[in-house]
Amino acid sequence: MVDLGRYDLGDFKASEEKDMQGGEFELIPQDHYVGMLIDAEDKETRKGDGRYLALTWELLAEPNKGRRLWANLNLVNKNQKAVAIARQELGAIIKAAGRETIQTTDELMNIPVLLFVKIEKGKDGYADKNVIKGYSPASGTVDSVSGGSVKEKEEQAVEKKAPLKGPWDN
């Protein structure tokens, strides 16, 4: 329990506060975005008969900088097709991060990766949502901020003898 008296809310009345919006995010358009993995959790499935890796990605470039996307990889599941898809997706993430093998998800954290984001139609009363459908190395790819490529920026930085700054270097 938290005693709200310590927050000096005065004559706080909920009815006088502006209503919050429904909590739905505006979908981002289907495109490639530079993002990085910021969280990974091992979770049990709802039925308790499997485990999945819950990944949180954060976009690094404007106008969607700071937006988060999620991906769940069913690595232990009765459905072997789901496991095969999860292993393929994990492999793509590891390769996009410039690794061949990893021991922990910490080895994938905070590495810029190019995410291919699509819009998936909602089912069973759920709204449409953004989903990650592909992963590639961020180096030498199209930069969603300026439309230029990361490789071009690297070359310009060398010419100017200035350090390369990406959208993640703020």
pLDDT for 22: 53
pTM tops 0.75, yes or no: no
19: confidence class by pLDDT, cuts 50, 70, 90? low
At residue 1, the pLDDT reads 58
pLDDT at position 143 over 50:
no
Ordered by where they begin, the domains of the chain are 26-138 (2.40.50)
List Cβ neighbours of 102 (8 Å cut-off, separation of 6 or more): 94, 108
- When computed from its CA atoms, the radius of gyration of the chain, rounded to whole angstroms, is 20
Of residues 21 and 26, more confidently modeled? 26
pLDDT at position 25: 72
Name the pLDDT band for 139 (thresholds 50, 70, 90).
Answer: confident
- pLDDT confidence of residue 142: 44
Higher pLDDT, 8 or 155: 8
Q: How far apart are CA 36 and CA 60, in angstroms?
A: 7
Q: How much is the pLDDT for 71?
A: 97
The confidence score (pLDDT) of residue 128 equals 94
pLDDT bracket for residue 117 (50, 70, 90):
very high
User: Which phi-psi region, left, alpha or beta, contains residue 89 (left: φ > 0; alpha: ψ -120 to 50)?
Assistant: alpha
Q: How remote is the C-alpha of 30 from its chain's centroid?
A: 14
Summarize pLDDT for 70-88 with one digit per residue, the tens: 999 999 999 999 999 999 9
> 164 pLDDT exceeds 80?
no
Asked if residue 149 has pLDDT above 60, the reply is: no
